[in-house]
């Protein structure tokens, strides 16, 4: 991942969303806000996807059979 000047802030927002999504259940308003943030920019979607992949690779997201 390249970290241009705006990427650091986008990366932080993506991580914040990931942590919120996996530490608590997002309510409808939060889920809509996440979808709006993702829809606002291809950079947001790319960085969020990269953050998800990193999270999965480090084992921080439980396997689907371990989730609720």
Tens digits of residue pLDDT in 31-61: 999 999 999 999 999 999 999 998 888 876 5
Q: Are 15 and 50 in contact (CB under 8 A)?
A: no
The pTM of the full predicted model, rounded to 2 decimals, is: 0.73
Residue 64 has pLDDT above 50, yes or no: yes
Alpha-carbon torsion, ordered 13, 17, 18, 21, to 10 deg: 170
pLDDT band at 1 (very low <50, low <70, confident <90, very high): very low
CA-to-CA distance for 2 and 33, rounded, in angstroms? Answer: 25
């Amino acid at each position: 991942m390249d970290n241009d000047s705006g990427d650091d802030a986008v990366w932080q927002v993506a991580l914040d969303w990931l942590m919120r999504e996996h530490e608590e259940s997002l309510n409808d308003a939060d889920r809509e806000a996440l979808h709006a943030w993702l829809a606002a920019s291809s950079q947001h979607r790319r960085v969020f996807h990269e953050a998800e992949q990193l999270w999965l690779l480090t084992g921080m997201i439980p396997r689907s059979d371990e989730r609720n």
